[in-house]
C-alpha cells in the first residue's frame, strides 16, 4: 500500500502537471468520488482535480455532515463554483435552504450552471454579491489563472478589479441551527462585523477559513467576545502535502 507521504507527493505532482498540460477553460466532468460522486460538474481540470476526484477538503465535508440536517439552513459565503453548496443542498434536502454568495461574475455563472445541472435551482438562492461589514459597492479583484480565486481588492490595487455589490449577513433572517461557511480570501473579519445579529444570539455555527495568522487571532477574539468557544483546526490533506490552511470552528447553541 502506498504510504501517506507518497500519496501526498503524488497528488502535488498531478496537480502541477494538470495546470501545464490540460487545455484552459471550464468543461463538464463527472465527479469520480466523494459525496457528489456521479454528478456532472462544470469546472476547470487544471485547477479543480480535487473536485473531480471528490477529495477536496474532506474535513469540510465531515463538518457539514455533522452540523447540517434535513430541513436545515446553510450559508455559503464565498461559494466559488458550488462544490460545498451542492453537498450542503443534498444534506438539507428539498425542505432545507441554501444561500450561496459569490461576487466574481465568472464563478457565479459556473455556480449557477452547477446548481441547475444538479436540479437544485429551486432550493439554492444564489446571491451575486460580496459579504462584508456594510452594504454598498466595493472594489473586487479577480485573480486570473489561480484556481479562479477572487477577493476584495486591497487599498491601492487597481489591476483586474471590478465593482461588485456588497451586502451583510445581518440583512438575512437565519433560523437557529444555521451553518455558515466563510471562505473569503482575507475578508473574514469584515464578514463577522456585518453579522452581529447572528453573533449576539449564538444561534449559528461558523466554519471560517483563516487566511492569515493575524486574521485568525482577530476571528478568535471576536467570536469569544460574543460567547462562542472557537477551535482552530489545521487539517492535513490526504493528497497535497503542502496544504497549510487553518480553520476556525465555532458551534452555535
Percent share of the chain, pLDDT over 70: 84
pLDDT in tens, 41-55: 999 998 899 999 999
State if pTM tops 0.95.
no
Q: Is the pLDDT of residue 63 over 70?
A: yes
Residue 134 neighbours by CB under 8 Å, 6+ apart: 166, 168, 194
pLDDT recorded at residue 5: 37
10-61: per-residue pLDDT in tens?
Answer: 445 455 555 555 566 799 999 999 999 999 999 999 889 999 999 999 999 9
At 3, the pLDDT band (50, 70, 90 cuts) reads very low
What's the pLDDT at 161? 81
Give the residue from 212, 217, 205, 222 showing the smallest Cα distance to 245: 212
Q: Which pLDDT band holds residue 158 (cuts at 50, 70, 90)?
A: very low
User: Which fold is adopted by the domain 56-250?
Assistant: Rossmann fold (3.40.50)
The lowest-confidence range among 32-46, 78-92, 97-111, 239-253 is 239-253
Amino acid at each position: 500500500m502506498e504510504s501517506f507521504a507518497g500519496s501526498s507527493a503524488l497528488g502535488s505532482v498531478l496537480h502541477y502537471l494538470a495546470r501545464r498540460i490540460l487545455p484552459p477553460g471550464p468543461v463538464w466532468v463527472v465527479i469520480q468520488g466523494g459525496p457528489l460522486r456521479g454528478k456532472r460538474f462544470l469546472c476547470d481540470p487544471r485547477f479543480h482535480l480535487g473536485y473531480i476526484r471528490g477529495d477536496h477538503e474532506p474535513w469540510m465535508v465531515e463538518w457539514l455532515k455533522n452540523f447540517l440536517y434535513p430541513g436545515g439552513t446553510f450559508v455559503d459565503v464565498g461559494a466559488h463554483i458550488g462544490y460545498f453548496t451542492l453537498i450542503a443542498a443534498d444534506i438539507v434536502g428539498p425542505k432545507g435552504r441554501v444561500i450561496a454568495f459569490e461576487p466574481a461574475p465568472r464563478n457565479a455563472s459556473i455556480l449557477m450552471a452547477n446548481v441547475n445541472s444538479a436540479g437544485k435551482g429551486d432550493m439554492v438562492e444564489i446571491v451575486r454579491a460580496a459579504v462584508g461589514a456594510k452594504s454598498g459597492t466595493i472594489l473586487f479583484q479577480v485573480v486570473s489563472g489561480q484556481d479562479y480565486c477572487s477577493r476584495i481588492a486591497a487599498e491601492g490595487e487597481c489591476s483586474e478589479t471590478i465593482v461588485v455589490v456588497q451586502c451583510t449577513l445581518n440583512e438575512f433572517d437565519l433560523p437557529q441551527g444555521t451553518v455558515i461557511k466563510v471562505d473569503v480570501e482575507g475578508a473574514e473579519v469584515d464578514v463577522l462585523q456585518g453579522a452581529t445579529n447572528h453573533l449576539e444570539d449564538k444561534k449559528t455555527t461558523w466554519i471560517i477559513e483563516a487566511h492569515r495568522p493575524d486574521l485568525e487571532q482577530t476571528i478568535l477574539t471576536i467570536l469569544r467576545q460574543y460567547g462562542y468557544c472557537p477551535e482552530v483546526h489545521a487539517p492535513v490533506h490526504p493528497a497535497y502535502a503542502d496544504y497549510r490552511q487553518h480553520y476556525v470552528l465555532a458551534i452555535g447553541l
